[in-house]
Structure 1
């Protein structure tokens, strides 16, 4: 009986750990991984911004060059040949050359 009582007290007096009391941290490796991913994302954001800005500047320059080309373009009408001479309406009988 004493043995049974001893086993029961040993089994029931052990406290169970409370999940709120444990502290879980990713540690140094987790911090470095998170920092690396963040650094790569920030680098990609800056690179994308640079590329978009460069594309926008190129488009603006092309539009300005096209506008300057249109402003400098002279549209001249082609020279027309002289109109043909009108035939004379004189009577052929009165014409001494014939």
Structure 2
């Protein structure tokens, strides 16, 4: 019975075996560096593309709102509204000049 008890104790309480591989060899190496670099570059490109698409969508919505407001507004207040939006008071509507 003592051998069975010793086997059970050894199975439930294993001692850590020393590693046979040196710590220097346990590195990602060049392949790991290239993989992480590719993931980083792809992530940066996706963020730039997403930012560009969000900005484009926002500008399109603003233009759509201006067009809808322009249909409801009159032609007499458009130069004042445009100059107020641009921040310039000396610029009027250039399309009316002949």
Q: TM-score, normalised by structure 2?
A: 0.51
- Structure with larger RCO (C-alpha < 8 A, sep 6+): 2
| C-alpha distance in structure 1 between counterparts of 2:73 and 2:51, whole Å | 33
| C-alpha distance in structure 2 between counterparts of 1:66 and 1:72, whole Å | 12
| C-alpha distance in structure 1 between counterparts of 2:42 and 2:34, whole Å | 12
Using the TM superposition, give the Cα deviation of residue 72 of structure 1 relative to its aligned residue in structure 2, in angstroms.
2.4
5+ residue gaps, structure 1, are: 1-15, 74-98
Q: Which residue of 2 aligns with 1:49?
A: 51
Q: TM-score, normalised by structure 1?
A: 0.51
Matching of residue 22 in structure 1 with residue 23 in structure 2: yes
Structure number with greater Rg is: 1
5+ residue gaps, structure 2, are: 1-16, 76-98
Q: Which residue of 2 aligns with 1:70?
A: 72
Q: Which residue of 1 aligns with 2:33?
A: 31
| C-alpha distance in structure 2 between counterparts of 1:18 and 1:62, whole Å | 67
CA RMSD of aligned residues (A): 2.4
Q: Secondary structure at the match of 1:72?
A: coil
| Between structures 1 and 2, the one with greater helix share | 2
